[in-house]
């Protein structure tokens, strides 16, 4: 819960997304044949990617719920090993 993406990474994610969608829109507008079919799915895919990254970054909230049971099992297993510093 305490290991979250730094705000600069989230800002960079949004910045790269905006620039990428901007270039796709600009490229679509420059062409003589105006087909926006590739631009709309690209925008949806970029938006889905950003939302997925933000949802995974916050495991306690959102659509994706991640069980912490495997981490608890690993911590319990590691606690059972003998302490190396006691030797």
**Burial class for 46, CB neighbours closer than 10 Å (0-12, 13-18, 19+):** middle
What is the value of pTM for the model shown? 0.61
| Confidence (pLDDT) at 35 | 72
- Give the model's pLDDT for residue 15: 92
- Give how many domains the chain has, as a whole number: 1
Position 2 in a domain? no
Q: What is the pLDDT of residues 15-53, one digit of tens each?
A: 999 998 888 888 877 877 777 777 788 888 888 999 888
Residues 57, 59: Cα–Cα separation, whole Å: 6
User: What pLDDT does 34 receive?
Assistant: 72
Question: Would 1 be classed as within a structural domain?
Answer: no
Domain of residue 54: give its range: 7-86
pLDDT digits over 56-71, tens only? 887 777 787 777 888 8
Q: Please, are residues 49 and 20 in contact by the beta-carbon 8 Å criterion?
A: no
């Amino acid at each position: 819960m305490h290991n979250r993406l730094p705000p600069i990474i989230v800002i960079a994610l949004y910045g790269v997304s905006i620039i990428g969608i901007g270039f796709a829109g600009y490229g679509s507008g420059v062409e003589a044949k105006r087909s926006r079919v590739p631009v709309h799915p690209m925008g949806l895919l970029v938006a889905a990617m950003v939302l997925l990254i933000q949802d995974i970054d916050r495991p306690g909230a959102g659509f994706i719920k991640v069980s912490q049971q495997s981490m608890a099992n690993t911590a319990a297993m590691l606690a059972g090993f003998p302490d190396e510093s006691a030797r």
